[in-house]
Structure 1
Amino acid sequence: MVFILLFMKLGKDRSNESYMNVINVLLLLNLILGFVCNREGILFNEMFRTNKLIVLEKNILNLAMLIISLQSWSWLKTHKHVPEFYILLLSSLLGMFFMISSGNLLMFYLGLEMSTIPVAAAVNFDLAKRRSSEGAMKLIFSSAFSSACLLFGISMLYGTTGTLVFTELPQHISNNPLQLFAFILIIAGFAFKISVAPFHLWTADVYEGAPVSVTSFLSVISKGAVLFVFVSVLYTVFSPLAKVWYNMIFILSLLTIAIGNLFAIRQENFKRFLAFSSIAQVGFILVGVSGGTDISTTSVIYFVLIYVFSNLAAFGVVSVVTSATGKENISDYKGLYKTNPALSWVLAIAMFSLAGVPPTAGFFGKFFLLIAGAGKGNYILISIAALNIIISLYYYLRVVKAIFMDANSTPLPSVRIPLMSKLAFAVCIAGVISIGVASPVYDYIYSLIVLN
């Protein structure tokens, strides 16, 4: 797709709509072929590997990319650099695919860098806005620091084991102090990428400064890809250090949930609000990761799929409203139901799912994460996480209250929803409502993990 866009750009001038129509068709075709045309195997001495589970993880990201592309219609139709926008995001997505398929820490690192550099440029895509440039610089600096930690940890791990292959590393890993230090550095590198507290400080500023579509990409696709690899590396490469990383995950999960919840309560800007919401969601994912079983892996992938629909529904509403009115604060959404009932219901359902209110899919996603975390028998962790779900209800329902109950003398005007955005909303709402009660989805993911 990147080469097709390059050839189209080098050819005759085309309208923004023609670029977007072509890329949306290609993204849909890529998603369909991802389910029917795939092979399992290992290449280049386990540098690259693929199986049905990896294909599923990539297809979740493909689906998210298609939804983001549809939601970007109202913003991109007047932008000067539509091909460049897609080239950056698709290049980043390609890096994530290499990262997910990596069977070697060096290959993983190369994929990670390939996915980070283009998205840093995309954060600065609103060239006329100072916040966008500031967000891009903060992302570059934080990514450089986290990459340095990660690479330093990988180099020390190689120095003590003599290999970087995932399947060979567990045989050489022990409680050696140098290996433990390398492990801490690698975990810190991952924590930066998925915004685990206290490595989350870049998140809110970058989310606020980036265009809404890029923020959606960072929140869902970038975070989902790193989480997939994080679980794989933790359960395979560092399986001999299970007792060590369990204690670390225990502390990090509680700290991340608490900080995400407390700071989300204070936010007025919608993108910063969703940034701290995503930090809290990562904390709940870590609770599931702490279980260390096949059920844990299943619950993480299942929750990421639900998170794609829930978060993109919320960001889709913000994208449409921001493109039409330029408003980004939660207070601007007061009385939204009077003028935009369709957008109000989409946003309300997204908030209910993110909060974990039944019968939305978010409830089942968090339920399975807590069940997976309970596998270790640490009911203190589960109890604190469950109490934080109650706390999160406050700030999610605050948005719903503003939409439906708060009076506003000057509510937002009626906003026209483009057809492409309507399609994206339909997919998101269908996913939020149906996936939670569709047990075959969870069973299918579990069957792939058991076979793998």
Structure 2
Amino acid sequence: MINESIIILRFEWLIALMIVVLFVLNLMGVDKNPKRFMNIVNAMLVINFVAGFIPIKDGYLFQGFYHTTALIVLEKNILNLGLMLIAFSAKQWIIESKRPAEFFILMFSSVLGMYVMLSSGHILVLYLGLELSSLPLAALAAFNTDSRKSSEAGVKYILSSAFSTGITLFGISLLYGAVGNLGFDAIIQHIHEDALTLTAFVFILAGFSFKMSIVPFHMWTADVFEGAPTPVTNYLAVVSKGSVIFIFITVLYTVFGKLENAWLLAISVLSVLSMTVGNIFALRQQNLKRFLAFSSIAQVGFVLVGIAGASNMGTDSVVYFLVIYLLSNIALFSIVEAISDETGKVTISDYKGLYKSNPFYAIIFTVALFSLAGVPPTAGFFGKLFLLTSGMGSGMYVLLGFATINLVLSLYTYLRVVKAMFIDPEEERMPLIKKSVLTNFVLAVCLIGIIILGFAGVFYQYIDSISSQL
């Protein structure tokens, strides 16, 4: 039993061990030498990522409160990839922050919560994992204590998180009153479409919507993205949001599967609002971090189109798209971080003429933007295609019409940045940015992934094979 728990809980044991190692290194004063400390952390992240691919069998622990499947393992590996690439690209900033141990202890604690959340078989375990993953993010958002905007970002995040927690807990209490049990299997067996259950679902959906920045629960997103340190913004946009979307699929398709007729309309309305508001407000932004914040809101709208398909293809298309979304956003935020650290420039107008001074960054930035816009031959095109194809399965053709309009609108939105980099006359020449080896590695991985994944049908087929077993 002990050996089985060690194997099944491998991801959690590893990240917990890494947190303990960080505490020990901090007590030994190793973090006083940030470069040496970062090398140790990066080595641990590589080991953690590689260990995730060691075969692991499906299993249940703690009377079904915790479980793992091949799909959950894949989702955790995707999060590990994002965590590793973000840490690599943020190396210089973390070194200059002078508090690398605190930064990674908070980040790894958040990841531990995500692992627990993804493997939860009980609503309360899901809630505990969700909160464990969220609370450290408030401290990370306010990590730059010398910046008023960073402190403001931390306060706004914790307030919005507390509000969403209250809403979620109220929904959970109503669900318990309706069903009498909070285990996933018991809920699936006893749930019925009545007024109390639907009310519980509305509150739980609202709580998830806060975490995923779905309109109209998105108000905190742009301010927090702008005020938080760029590596934290990268983490919020990619790893944090991706983990919540993963568990959201499980909650909708399994726990609330019998309420499909009720939640299809709600998901469709939220999708239209998120796509439209995200794209329209992105058009008005000059700060790139705020621009990418509204971009992420719009992308979640497209993800909801795939989820609205309410089929096995919905899971496949969402997981596939989120890998592409992860690579695209990490590339974008890594470049924004590298340029802002060197020059302090973070607005779209600052990027005018970037192709002349830093062609490498300009080209990768463009490819990543095209991927988010769904322009072929990038993987983003296939990701959007699969999401729309999945949405067709539910017959929500009005939703697909809005999605098509927003695809065109998003292309114009992203082309505005491309135009600034390649066409607009430069107001002040951007200096040549020093390129670190790790940042180059991250950008190369993202670029290769954005191009290759679109043509690597085997990856999508693998997702389909493990999701169909559920």
TM-score normalised by length of structure 1:
0.99
- Per-residue deviation at 1:378? 2.1
2:309 to 291, 311, 315: 291
Structure-2 residue corresponding to 1:113: 131
Matched, 1:7 2:24: yes
Counting only pairs closer than 5 Å after superposition, residues 278-427 of structure 1 correspond to structure 2 as 278-427=296-445
Q: Which string of whole-angstrom CA distances, capped at 9 and with x for unpartnered residues, describes residues 284-312 of structure 1?
A: 00000001100000000001111010111
1:185 counterpart residue number:
203
SS at structure 2 position matched to 1:167? helix
Q: TM-score, normalised by structure 2?
A: 0.95
Partner of 2:103: 85
SS in 1 for 2:60: strand
Tell me which residue corresponds to 2:467: 449
How far apart are the structure 2 equivalents of 1:332 and 1:65? Answer: 28
Tell me the SS of whatever aligns to 2:97: coil
Partner of 2:190: 172
Write out aligned runs for 1:251-270 (5 A).
251-270=269-288
SS at match of 1:236: helix
Shift of 1:39: 3.2
Q: What secondary structure is seen at the aligned counterpart in 2 of 1:49?
A: strand
Paired amino acid for 2:22: L
Q: Structure 2: how far apart are the matches of 1:162 and 1:46?
A: 17
CA change 1:253–1:409 in 2 (3 A) is closer
Code of the aligned partner of 1:160: A
**Do structure 1's residue 99 and structure 2's residue 117 form an aligned pair?**
yes
* Equivalent position SS for 1:376: coil
Q: How much is the aligned-residue C-alpha RMSD, in angstroms? A: 0.9
Q: Which amino acid counterpart does residue 144 of structure 1 have in structure 2?
A: A
Shift of 1:12: 3.5
Q: C-alpha distance in 2, partners of 1:12/1:45?
A: 42
Which stretches in structure 1 are left out of the alignment for 5+ residues?
none
How far did residue 329 of structure 1 move? 0.7
Partner SS state of residue 206, structure 2: helix
How many angstroms apart in 2 are the aligned matches of 1:156 and 1:409? Answer: 58
2:4 match:
none
Determine whether 1:433 maps to 2:435: no
CA apart distance, 1:443? 0.3
1:69 aligns with one of 82, 87, 106: 87
- Stretch of structure 1 that moved more, 244-253 or 33-42: 33-42
**Which residue in 1 is equivalent to 2:247?**
229
Aligned to 2:148: 130
Question: 1:37 offset after TM fit, Å?
Answer: 4.5
2:11 matched residue in structure 1: none
Q: Counterparts in 2 of 1:45-56, with a 5 A limit?
A: 45-56=63-74
Residue type matched to 1:273 in 2? Answer: F
Range moving further from structure 2, 327-336 or 170-179:
170-179
Q: How far apart, in 2, do the equivalents of 1:234 and 1:129 lie?
A: 39
2:76 aligned partner, one-letter code:
K
Give 1:449's aligned amino acid: S
Matched residue SS, 2:429: coil
Whole-angstrom CA distance in 2 between matches of 1:411 and 1:243: 56
Q: 8 Å contact 1:333–1:411 — kept in the other structure?
A: no
Output the CA distance in 1 between the equivalents of 2:53 and 2:258: 34
Moved more, 154-163 or 258-267: 154-163
1:206 aligns with 2:224: yes
Equivalent-residue separation in structure 2 for 1:211 and 1:69 (angstroms): 13
**Number of aligned residue pairs:** 452
> Does 2:286 correspond to 1:274?
no
Which of structures 1 and 2 has the larger relative contact order (alpha carbons within 8 angstroms, sep 6+)?
1
Q: Which runs of 5+ in 2 are unaligned?
A: 1-17
Residue 6 of structure 2 is matched in structure 1 by none
Q: Which amino acid aligns with 1:5?
A: L
Cα deviations across residues 412-447 of structure 1 (Å, max 9, x unaligned)?
111001111011111110110100110001000000
Tell me how far 1:179 sits from its aligned partner.
1.2
Q: What is the distance in 1 between the residues matched to 2:90 and 2:469? A: 38
Alignment check: 8 A CA contact 2:268 2:399 kept: yes
CA contact (8 A) 2:214 2:270 kept: yes
Distance 1:78 1:256 in 2: 36
Equivalent pair of 2:352/2:427 in contact (CA under 8 Å): no
In the alignment, the residues of structure 1 paired with residue 95 and residue 399 of structure 2 have an alpha-carbon distance, to the nearest angstrom, of 47
2:74 matched to 1:35?
no
Alpha-carbon contact 1:73-1:418 (below 8 Å) kept:
no
Rounded Cα–Cα distance in structure 1 between residues aligned with 2:351 and 2:445: 23
DSSP-derived class of the 1:76 partner = helix
Superposition misfits of 4+ residues, deviation over 6 angstroms:
none
Task: Say which of 238, 254, 259 aligns to 1:220.
Answer: 238
Partners of 2:354 and 2:183 lie apart in 1 by 53
Whole-angstrom distance in 2 between the partners of 1:294 and 1:140: 35
| Alpha-carbon distance between aligned partners in 1 of 2:231 and 2:57, rounded to the nearest angstrom | 32
Residues 212-251 of structure 1: CA deviation (Å, up to 9, x unaligned): 0000100010100000000000011111111000010111
Given that residues 106 and 137 in structure 2 are in contact (C-alpha distance below 8 angstroms), is that contact kept between their aligned partners in structure 1?
yes
1:161 aligned partner = 179
Question: Residue 128 of structure 1: CA displacement?
Answer: 0.5
